[in-house]
Structure 1
């Protein structure tokens, strides 16, 4: 047999051996996946059972509130810590998606099963938000200060709809994975997506021109506020540890994305102001035509 053919057969034999090892590894992987699935169901069922029994015992303790002892007091203190413990356990267990994610993604499991995966997803979210914000801020400045063309406005508004909708989806996934994102943070993104959609579909005319600059100013404020929150100095938490965007990786606060030092009133105030100015713009437009 030629020397070249012998070398090819040797290479094929080595590849066959590697393939057999791969098959065995993959078989083991599938077995572990099945075991993990069973453990997940067992943990979820046990947590539900614990919550139900804890509620029953709390009810009994309330009935016997007049009877106190060191054992009862210790039990009450331990009972207070259980909800947080359950919350941390469930952060690594599959859970049913909320209404918004169910409508957008369906019944897809979006729970990440390791802290490293959660951190990586949160960091990816922050990178996406920062890069998109810089681009949209520059685009908004161009439309607001330099150029006034309807097709450029339409491109900007389309990008804003995409940006805010993407943020709400990613934030919902973060919440599913244990992030304690406050409701106002996500809510003002819903409002911004709605207003961007209104501007995108609004026909060109006097009414659109009246409201255009107000909405662009609102967008500029939003983007500037995001950039400002990204670059604010590191804050000191109540525990004395330094953290930025909840970057204390010893707990689940690392997944929080809103800044605690940015007042919640500002996004809601500007969202409310923009929504309030819409009917006022309609009235001004009607008066102009008259």
Structure 2
């Protein structure tokens, strides 16, 4: 027993010694990393100051050029001395300034759009690490997948069961959260290099307005309108969104692999027209949704004047619905047209390479 206790104590002492040594090594590594980070931060701050100085010098060079053009000055110093090789000096400065501006563009803070500054304040939303950008994009895609089911369930429950004001309010509050989250995420992704068409972000802004204004419509008007097809349209829209997310997520892998999209680009309307033979179900449903959005806007505008008292909410919501329908349809049509032009140009270039007569 004494031998076992002695061996245990020796093992414990060895373990404590190794642990203390590992702790010391870890602390040294952490201190070195902290010093390197401080050095990097100092370099970035120094470069930002240098970029500002280059901008100031650039404005001075512009003033010198203006004076040279307007007054035909051969001497620009106060003592009348002529500066030799002024044009060469100016060229070298412009090249250095362009190089500094390119580096400064990569490290400068980005505050994003007005919507981002309104929600987050004037904070930097630029991410430096490529891995963090890809994580943001993956979280965005997961959010769309998770919420597509909820988008269908809310109106479906209201159709199947008699629901009152509370569930309707919760539905539109959730839509406010959904479209605000999409707009926020897409704005941040756009700042960090994702290729997102501006219309889809504006679409989310308009949808936020629709959800907010709809909550202020009186209950008697809301009930008569909801049972006339708006809830059924929401169900159709949710199904189309689910199919669209499913197809776009599959096509995005191929687009990244072939170099048509970067790893942080999100799936957009461009993926819907790359292989139209596989979209015999989705594309008709998509265009049907856009037509129904236009029709819903017209119906709501008509309801605003048919009611016993004029409803400004119905009028504005109807106009916003028509704007969304027209914007969605025109954006997809422009994408289809652009894709067809590119395909025809590629086909013509292939035929030109094959045929010697076309080359001549």
Same fold (TM over 0.5): yes
CA distance in 1, matches of 2:162, 2:16: 68
Measure how far apart 1:225 and its partner are: 2.3
CA distance in 2, matches of 1:110, 1:178: 12
CA RMSD of aligned residues (A): 4.1
Measure how far apart 1:176 and its partner are: 0.9
CA distance in 1, matches of 2:21, 2:199: 62
Change beyond 3 A, Cα 1:16–1:134: same
Measure how far apart 1:196 and its partner are: 1.6
CA distance in 1, matches of 2:262, 2:231: 36
Ranges in structure 2 where 5+ consecutive residues have no aligned partner: 1-5, 63-100, 274-282, 310-360
Match of 2:304 in 1: 282
Please point out which of 251, 259, 262 is paired with 2:269.
259
CA contact under 8 A between 1:122 and 1:255: conserved in structure 2? yes
Q: Note if 1:19 corresponds to 2:27.
A: yes
Ranges in structure 1 where 5+ consecutive residues have no aligned partner: 54-85, 236-241
Change beyond 3 A, Cα 1:186–1:222: farther
CA distance in 1, matches of 2:106, 2:144: 23
CA distance in 1, matches of 2:32, 2:26: 10
Q: Secondary structure at the match of 1:255?
A: coil
Q: Note if 1:209 corresponds to 2:223.
A: yes
Measure how far apart 1:279 and its partner are: 3.1
Match of 1:223 in 2: 238
Q: Which has the higher contact order (CA 8 A, sep 6+)?
A: 1
Structure 1 residues 155-193: Cα deviation after superposition (integer angstroms, max 9, x where no partner): 111111100110011111111112221122122222222
CA distance in 2, matches of 1:41, 1:270: 55
Give the structure with higher Rg (CA). Answer: 2
Structure 1 residues 80-127: Cα deviation after superposition (integer angstroms, max 9, x where no partner): xxxxxx99x957753342211111111111112133222221111011
CA distance in 1, matches of 2:140, 2:36: 33
TM-score of the pair, normalised by structure 1 = 0.67
After superposition, residues 1-290 of structure 1 pair within 5 angstroms as 10=17, 11-12=19-20, 14-38=22-46, 94-205=109-220, 207-213=221-227, 214-232=229-247, 243=252, 246-248=255-257, 250=259, 251-252=261-262, 254-260=264-270, 261=272, 270-286=292-308
Give the count of matched residue pairs.
246
CA distance in 2, matches of 1:195, 1:170: 20
TM-score of the pair, normalised by structure 2 = 0.55
CA distance in 1, matches of 2:287, 2:198: 12
The structure whose residues are more often helix, as a share, is 2
